[in-house]
Structure 1
Amino acid sequence: LAKMQAGATGYDLIIPSDYMVSIMIQLDMLKELDHANIPNLANIYPRFAEAPYDPGNVYTAPYQWGTTGIGYNEAEVGGIPDSWDYIFNPEVAQKFAGKMSLLNDQREVIGAALKYLGHSMNSVDPDELEAAKQTILAIKPYVATFDSDSFGDLLVSGDVIIGHGWSGGYFQDIYASDNENLGYVIPKEGGVIWTDNLAIPKTAPNPYTAEVLINYILDADIAAMITNFNYYASPVETAEPLILDDIKQDPGIYPSEETLAKMEFLRDLGEGTLLWDRIWTEIKSE
């Protein structure tokens, strides 16, 4: 976003996250998709055809989706940490002192604390955000690192035994390891459901070619191949029969409808972003 706002051009296709799509639409940065060039849009699940950030896929097509939850070593943690209590309750978190990681992402970390406290992950209420800040500060002494790049590697290596991260990032490393104690769980309180999306900037030099590529990515065979490679769930419904059973049947990758009902998309916070920025700065600096 910053590069494009600064005048960067030449991009035919970009992959913004869901709440970033909302911001880019408001800033008039995205081209409307020509659905005639993307017939495979008909292949996607209804949930992603009417996503709150772009109902009707006017500007975007879903690429992949996933959740944010807890990666863990069951033997070291002493069970499956199926609640945010394992992260945000100081009496529990202190057991993992120096062996716990959080994402280095303000929307995810503050959002998870809000969910733990029973609030919306998109809250802009000052009192709720202050409570979330104090909750995070209370467990910060036990956090080994804030990391959004290597959280899966840290779990596999044993540097951490419990962490907060994105589903596919964990599963790629967990499936590649030979440690049967490693797993990923969506906390019972719920969490973030997110979508990475395919979009075309208004300044794209080759928008038709970009639409042809989007259509190719939404082909059932291609979508399944991508999911089978990187363990992120596919929004392409027709790809489901082609996805490996181990992936389809893992509730951490394809959650139940009951679990999905507790998940939230991150939304554009508007002017509330300034408050979130201040809260995050205070968390990281204290």
Structure 2
Amino acid sequence: MKHILALMVFLALAFAQNKTLQLYTWTDYIDPAIVADFEKQTGLKVRIAYYESNEEMQAKLQAGGVSQFDLVVPSDFIVPVLINLKLLQPLDKSKIPNLKNLEPKFTNPPFDPGNRYTVGYLWGTVGLMYRTDIFKTPPASWSVLFDPRQQKGPFTFMDSSREMLGIGLRYLGRSVNTTDPAQVKQALEAMLAAKQSRNFKGFQGGVSATKLLLANQIVAAVVYNQDALRVAEGNPRYGFTIPKEGSTLFIDSMAIPAKAPNPEAAHRFINFILDAKIGARLAEYQQSATPNAAAKKLLKPQMLQNPAIWPSEAQMKVLEFILDQGNKNRVLDEAWTQLKSR
């Protein structure tokens, strides 16, 4: 009798699992109405857990989340790491017919050739969100953080290693992808000097930093453009800019953990997001650029003309995608550890 009861419990859990999609994504990174529409269309229940950095997501997967979640949304530079750690499974493209909607330049990304493991979700930039009552004109240089003489009040760094180190490197005229120990050390020293300022108020995720700005606790923060635009909601008290030295670009992608309990549901969700109308709704909700060519055609002109969403040609020349450096990542990891601990 006990064996029968155990079997019944197992079957019940398995059935419930097959009717659920476990999504692990960035904080506030999807319109709840889109989730509700997916649930209505498929009969699946979506359960969402959140993270605020790629490093947090990777650690969670390594701690058992690889068999807990059905879908994650990693940024470009972390994808090769997840693949090498065998934390992702190849996609079954026969189950994603809407892949045809991707712009060609996003169908063979350097971090995942041929989209074997990932599919583009949204893309954007890292820049400076600031209070316009303090900065009468958009800050032209990252020196408003790194040079104590030009600081105008409390500020925060982004709590993400490659993005924040990349900005320190760009400030000094270096590539965000350099692993030259001398160049990385110079960037570390510049960032440590800023950290020792009485205006430095810590490391924050993008959403957390924008909330501190809205609460008037800081005057500037390094954030993702999406967070700045969506949280400020057109409020003229806040601005977003990419300083002249440049910054980082990112593309976040959808991927399925290697031991996902319901990969079938994950494929259905990926295909749903790649629908033209859904992709346009997602981009508008997040105030973000989309890799979905079919969705882009449906966006409003004022959104397409917003340089904070779609960088100008001049800005693109000083923006870089972060590339995985393999074994040389150690130089950057050590610098980040020193920055956080000193």
In the TM superposition, what whole-angstrom CA distance separates every residue of 1:179-236 from its partner, at most 9, and x where no partner exists? 4131111222221111111111232233233222211101110011112212122111
| RMSD over equivalenced CA pairs, Å | 1.9
What is the CA-CA distance between 1:77 and the residue it aligns to? 1.6
Partner residue, 2:221: 163
Q: Which amino acid aligns with 2:138?
A: I
Q: Is 1:144 aligned to residue 201 of structure 2?
A: yes
Q: Distance in 1 between matches of 2:291 and 2:118?
A: 13
The question of whether the paired residues in 2 share the 8 Å contact of 1:77 and 1:162 is answered with no
Partner residue, 1:229: 285
Q: Which amino acid aligns with 1:24?
A: L
The question of whether the paired residues in 2 share the 8 Å contact of 1:151 and 1:170 is answered with no
Partner residue, 2:50: none
What is the CA-CA distance between 1:2 and the residue it aligns to? 2.6
What is the CA-CA distance between 1:162 and the residue it aligns to? 1.7
Match of 2:169 among 104, 114, 118: 114
SS at match of 2:232: helix
Q: Distance in 1 between matches of 2:86 and 2:338?
A: 32
Partner residue, 1:126: 181
Matches within 5 A, 1:86-101: 86-93=144-151, 96-97=152-153, 99-101=154-156
Distance 1:14 1:285, change over 3 A: closer
What is the CA-CA distance between 1:116 and the residue it aligns to? 0.9
Moved more, 259-268 or 124-133: 259-268
| Higher relative contact order (CA closer than 8 Å, sequence separation 6+) | 1
Partner residue, 2:45: none
Partner residue, 1:175: 233
Q: Distance in 1 between matches of 2:264 and 2:210?
A: 37
Partner residue, 2:250: 194
Compare the two structures and name the one with the higher strand fraction.
Answer: 2
Q: Distance in 1 between matches of 2:123 and 2:112?
A: 15
Partner residue, 2:308: 252
**Unaligned regions of 5+ residues in structure 2, if any?**
1-57
**Unaligned regions of 5+ residues in structure 1, if any?**
none
Partner residue, 1:104: 159
Q: Distance in 2 between matches of 1:110 and 1:202?
A: 30
Q: Is 1:203 aligned to residue 235 of structure 2?
A: no
Q: Is 1:61 aligned to residue 119 of structure 2?
A: yes
The question of whether the paired residues in 2 share the 8 Å contact of 1:68 and 1:191 is answered with yes
Q: Which amino acid aligns with 1:144?
A: K
TM-score if structure 2 supplies the norm length? Answer: 0.76
Partner residue, 2:31: none
The question of whether the paired residues in 2 share the 8 Å contact of 1:61 and 1:197 is answered with yes
Q: Distance in 2 between matches of 1:74 and 1:273?
A: 37
